[in-house]
């Protein structure tokens, strides 16, 4: 059982049983623990903290790591950053105990076990790690419970005690119990002798522009204005390194602890601010400002090198129209979804629905289509899925004389076929001859032309089963 | 043709001729001449050819001396009903199916027009078509199949395909694509009703950008439209199949594609009805003779018929 501050003031402690707690305070409110929901909320909080530094990750079930190397000056110093963080978290309703040190181990120790609440006392200055950690209890080293009990029995209550002991006997003593490597390792990590890398939760984008707003903004116009500023800075950065961006993500950090993001993609890397503004304009209404947006961050996730080109005096018409086409594709794909704007590419397959596949227009790789010169006649429209039809056919291998499709009967007067297409046994296991298709190109008495097939052979299917007929395509 | 031009209508050329005026440079004078020519063309209501060889078409379309081939049918019977004998490239065209199952026929006619358009321009491979359909249209008549377009002589690599949820999205895509000025032709396929305002916007955009826009509509949706031309297409029995031949007594294969075309209205042209056949090898249309000996049905032979069999796979 976990308790909050108000409960603790009434005399309740964490770990008590429910009955005892109720006895002490009858009007107690109890809530079921939901560890998964807590974990998700913690992760969301870590993502929210990304506006302090992109290097954030979750620590256990109740902590966060933030690597603020190089970010502190943006907030006016380390102490100010911690104060700001604690203040904002308490605005959301979360009591946070910060700790700042050179190593994650030391920061963990000072955050959880520091005796005073004052921010200054919770920051370990460079070079004073040993002093600061000496007074903290041994479990601040992230040790197992039984290890801690053992250390207490040996009289090693604080980290300082551990540090005073020579290493070799410590190692020898604990090796038999198989706990020593862990103790010494954790000590070394805390003191910085051994590195402890943290992997960030959100992958860090190579190019990033940050805008801290003095007051929370609520309107879309304000977001557009901020976006313009960010685009200017980001594109300038990209220009310095001769890079162009293909994917941009805008993160909006709200003061209530939520994050909204929108991503745009372009088919060619570019640094064109106007183009990106237009692509974002379609999507900006998806950002929900909530109680106000405090921070806007624009990251370029996918970049590629583009040569610094001078706008040539005589830009060839072909280049110009290619560029215009690229922009059109970007605009349509970002508004309607990249998978809806596509090219048709031929594939090596004679199963009709696999002989061609859709490739999104935004993807750069446009493989060379393998188009055959002597391709058999195919309909100009193909149904998404072959639709079953009811058929009246005379002979085992003849075209239908009449069929009913979508409840309309058609009488066939002309037919060509069958064109036999068997399943590709080299691709599928268990591809058997019951799925052989015999395609017929037929015309009905009103001049409408269809492409239908029979699946299965009469000879191979025992009665009362019968091969089934399907409509697959429409000719002009 | 009544004389409607008065002296006040003409741009003030007489100032250039006055003695104390500075002689106008060539550019200003040329601009005034162009404006005057356009004015005359609008009054005439038809294409006017001037002495120096420039032709101005109706509604601001300009054919320069180096114009490429016209976008037409190649059949005098149809072309003479069109103003200037060709389809306007800076305009919107409606293609409507006569009945619901005639949808694929209207799509085929559209593809044949695209083939004619591509043939009439010197394409360097960069010009591209955009085909946009709504989800409802995809449910009705399926998706475009690139391998089937080769039957019209069109390379599917020239197309960008778009499938969007609603008809309004189709219209939006058409407008954006016209504004981009990056395509040779823009085709939209809608399943529902398109109101007059939307067609007028598309029509104006097409004229402004000098890019043709083809709108495929389903039967029963041919309301008032601002399109330059409206076509109604119905399917028709196909022509002779060259392979199986006449009188072989067996069931024949479907032959060359045929459609019934009806030009409902055309700005500056005359309506008409024709039966045409599409020849994909040459990329042209043939007229179907009025007295064709079309057999509507062939009695089935008692014996098992021999078909043109192909085995693949």
Q: Among B177, B254, B309, whose Cβ lies nearest the Cβ of A449?
A: B254
> So what's the pLDDT on residue B22?
47
pLDDT in tens, B197-213: 999 999 999 988 888 99
In this structure, the strands spanning B129-134 and A381-393 are unpaired
**DSSP H helices in chain B:** 14-17, 26-44, 76-79, 103-119, 135-141, 146-149, 167-180, 196-209
Query: Residues A469-472: contacts with CB within 8 Å, 24+ apart?
Result: A469/A388, A469/A389, A469/A390, A469/A391, A469/A393, A469/A400, A469/A403, A470/A386, A470/A387, A470/A388, A470/A389, A471/A383, A471/A386, A471/A387, A471/A388, A471/A389, A471/A403, A471/A405, A472/A352, A472/A379, A472/A382, A472/A383, A472/A386, A472/A439
Interface test with A, best of B123, B128, B136, B162 (most A CBs within 10 A): B162
Q: What per-residue confidence (pLDDT) applies to B179? A: 92
Are residues A247 and A300 in contact, defined by beta-carbon separation less than 8 angstroms?
A: yes
Which residues, 6+ apart, have CB-to-CB distance to A149 below 8 Å?
A: none
Query: CA dihedral defined by B66, B71, B76, B80, rounded to 10 degrees?
Result: -90
Yes or no, beta carbons of B180 and A447 under 8 Å apart? no
pLDDT at B70: 80
- Rounded to whole angstroms, the Cα distance separating A361 from A359 reads 6
Mutate one of A359, A416, A449, A454 to test the B interface: name it (highest B CB count within 10 A).
A416
Residue B124, φ and ψ in degrees, nearest 5: -100, 10
Count other Cβ atoms within 10 Å, centred on residue B153. 17
Check the CA dihedral A312-A316-A317-A319 and report its sign. negative
Contact state of A448 with B102 under an 8 Å Cβ cutoff = yes
Name the residue of chain B whose CA is nearest to A341's CA. Answer: B162
B-contacting residues of A 129-168, CB under 8 Å?
A: none
Instruction: Report the alpha-carbon distance of residue A246 to residue B75 in Å, rounded.
Output: 49
Q: Specify the pLDDT at position B123.
A: 60
Over its length of 476 residues, how does chain A's per-residue pLDDT go in tens digits? 777 777 778 777 777 788 888 888 887 788 888 888 888 888 888 888 888 888 888 888 888 888 888 888 878 888 888 888 888 888 888 888 888 888 888 888 888 888 888 888 788 888 888 888 888 888 888 887 777 888 888 888 888 888 888 888 777 776 655 555 677 788 888 888 888 888 888 777 788 898 988 888 998 899 999 999 999 999 998 888 888 888 899 999 988 888 888 999 888 888 889 889 988 988 888 888 888 898 999 999 888 887 655 555 555 666 777 788 888 998 999 889 888 999 888 888 888 888 888 888 887 656 555 566 667 889 999 999 999 999 887 767 778 889 999 999 999 998 887 888 888 877 777 666 678 889 999 999 999 999 999 988 777 766 667 788 999 999 98
User: Which of B148, B306, B307 to substitute to test the interface with A, most A CBs within 10 Å?
Assistant: B148
Residue A395 tokens, joined: 């002979």
Note whether A179 contacts B: Cβ–Cβ < 8 A: no
Q: How confident is the model at residue A28, as a pLDDT?
A: 79
Whole-angstrom Cα distance, residue A206 to residue A410?
62
Q: Which residue of B has its CA nearest to A327?
A: B180
pTM for this one?
0.71
Contact residues on chain A for B234, CB-CB shorter than 8 A? 447
**What would the pLDDT profile of B229-268 be if each residue is shown by its tens digit?**
999 999 998 877 655 544 444 678 888 899 999 999 888 8
Residues 403 through 442 of chain A touching chain B, CB cutoff 8 Å: 408, 413-424, 441-442
**Mind telling me how many Å the CA of B37 is from chain A's nearest CA?**
29
3-state secondary structure of B260: strand
Token match 């060889």: residue?
A: B53
A325 neighbourhood in chain B, CB within 8 Å: 128, 180, 182-183
Which string of DSSP letters, residue by residue, matches A182-237? Answer: HHHHHHHHHHTSS------SSPPPSEEEEEEEEEEE-SHHHHHHHHHHHHHHHHHH
Q: Do A447 and B235 touch (CB under 8 A)?
A: yes
Which residues of chain A neighbour B154 with C-beta distances below 8 Å?
none
> What's the pLDDT score for residue A250?
93
Contacts of A336 in chain B (CB under 8 A): 162, 164, 169, 173
Q: How confident is the model at residue B113 (pLDDT cuts 50, 70, 90)?
A: very high
**Which residues are paired to A244 by β-bridges?**
A304
CB A42 within 8 A of CB A64: yes
Q: Which tokens belong to A204?
A: 């860090």
Select the highest-mean-pLDDT range: A225-239, B35-49, B114-128. Answer: A225-239
Determine the pLDDT at residue B129.
92
């Amino acid at each position: 059982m976990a308790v909050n501050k108000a409960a603790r003031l009434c005399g309740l402690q964490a770990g008590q049983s429910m009955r005892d707690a109720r006895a002490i305070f009858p009007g107690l409110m109890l809530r079921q623990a939901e560890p998964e929901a807590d974990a998700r909320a913690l992760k969301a909080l870590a993502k929210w903290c990304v506006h302090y530094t992109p290097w954030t990750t979750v620590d256990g079930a109740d902590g966060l790591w933030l690597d603020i190397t190089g970010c502190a000056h943006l907030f006016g110093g380390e102490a100010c950053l911690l104060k700001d963080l604690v203040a904002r978290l308490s605005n959301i309703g979360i009591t946070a105990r910060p700790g700042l040190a050179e190593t994650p181990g030391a920061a963990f120790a000072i955050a959880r076990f520091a005796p005073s609440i004052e921010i200054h006392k919770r920051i370990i200055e460079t070079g004073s790690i040993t002093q600061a950690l000496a007074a903290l209890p041994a479990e601040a080293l992230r040790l197992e419970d039984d290890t801690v009990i053992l250390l207490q029995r040996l009289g090693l209550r604080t980290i300082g005690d551990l540090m005073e002991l020579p290493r070799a006997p410590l190692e020898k003593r604990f090796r038999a119990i198989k706990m020593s490597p862990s103790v010494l390792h954790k000590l070394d990590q805390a003191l910085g002798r051994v590195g402890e890398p943290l992997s960030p939760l959100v992958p860090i984008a190579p190019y990033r522009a940050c805008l801290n707003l003095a007051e929370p903004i609520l309107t879309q116009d304000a977001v557009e204005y901020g976006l313009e500023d960010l685009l200017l800075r980001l594109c300038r950065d990209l220009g310095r390194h001769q890079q162009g961006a293909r994917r941009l993500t805008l993160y909006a950090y709200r003061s209530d602890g939520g994050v909204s993001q929108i991503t745009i993609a372009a088919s060619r890397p570019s640094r064109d601010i106007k183009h990106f503004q237009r692509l974002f304009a379609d999507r900006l209404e998806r950002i929900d400002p909530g109680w106000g947006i405090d921070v806007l961050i624009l990251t370029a996730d996918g970049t590629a090198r583009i040569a610094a080109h001078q706008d040539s005096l005589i830009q060839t018409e072909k280049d110009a129209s290619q560029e215009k086409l690229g922009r059109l594709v970007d605009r349509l794909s970002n508004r309607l979804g990249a998978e809806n704007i596509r090219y048709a590419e031929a594939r090596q397959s004679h199963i009709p629905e696999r002989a061609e596949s859709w490739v999104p227009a935004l993807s750069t790789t446009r493989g060379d289509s393998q188009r055959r010169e002597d391709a058999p006649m195919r309909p100009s429209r193909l149904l998404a899925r072959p639709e079953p039809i009811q058929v009246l056919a005379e002979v085992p291998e003849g075209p239908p004389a009449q069929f009913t499709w979508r409840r309309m009967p058609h009488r066939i007067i002309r037919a060509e076929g069958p064109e036999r297409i068997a399943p590709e046994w080299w691709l599928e296991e268990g591809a058997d001859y019951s799925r052989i298709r015999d395609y017929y190109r037929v015309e009905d008495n009103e001049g409408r032309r269809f492409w239908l097939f029979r699946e299965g052979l009469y000879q191979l299917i025992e009665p009362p089963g019968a091969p089934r007929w399907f409509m697959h395509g429409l000719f002009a | 043709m009544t004389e409607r031009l008065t002296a006040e209508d003409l741009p003030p050329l007489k100032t250039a001729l006055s003695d104390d005026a500075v002689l106008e440079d060539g550019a200003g004078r040329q601009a005034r001449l162009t404006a005057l020519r356009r004015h005359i063309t609008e009054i005439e209501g038809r294409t006017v050819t001037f002495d120096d060889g420039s032709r101005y078409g109706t509604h601001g379309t300009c054919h320069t001396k180096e114009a490429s081939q016209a976008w037409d049918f190649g059949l005098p019977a149809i072309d003479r009903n069109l103003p200037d004998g060709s389809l306007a490239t800076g305009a919107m065209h409606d293609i409507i199916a006569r009945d619901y199952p005639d949808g694929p026929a209207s799509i085929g006619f559209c593809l044949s027009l695209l083939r004619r358009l591509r043939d009439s321009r010197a394409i360097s491979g960069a010009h591209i078509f955009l085909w946009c359909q709504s989800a409802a249209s995809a449910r009705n008549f399926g998706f475009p199949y690139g391998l089937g377009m080769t039957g019209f002589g069109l390379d599917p690599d020239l197309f960008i395909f778009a499938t969007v949820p609603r008809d309004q999205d189709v219209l939006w895509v058409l407008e954006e694509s016209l504004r981009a000025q990056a395509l040779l032709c823009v085709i939209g396929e809608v399943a529902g009703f398109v109101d007059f305002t939307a067609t007028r916007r598309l029509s104006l955009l097409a004229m402004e950008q000098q890019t043709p826009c083809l709108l495929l509509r389903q039967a029963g949706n041919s309301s008032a439209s601002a399109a330059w031309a409206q076509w109604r297409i119905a399917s028709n029995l196909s022509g002779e199949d060259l392979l199986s031949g006449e009188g072989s007594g067996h069931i024949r294969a479907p032959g060359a594609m045929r459609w019934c075309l009806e030009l409902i209205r055309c700005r500056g042209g005359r309506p008409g009805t024709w039966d045409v056949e599409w020849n994909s090898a040459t990329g042209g249309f043939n007229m179907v003779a009025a007295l064709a000996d079309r057999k509507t049905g062939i009695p089935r032979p008692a014996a098992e018929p021999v078909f043109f069999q192909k085995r693949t796979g």
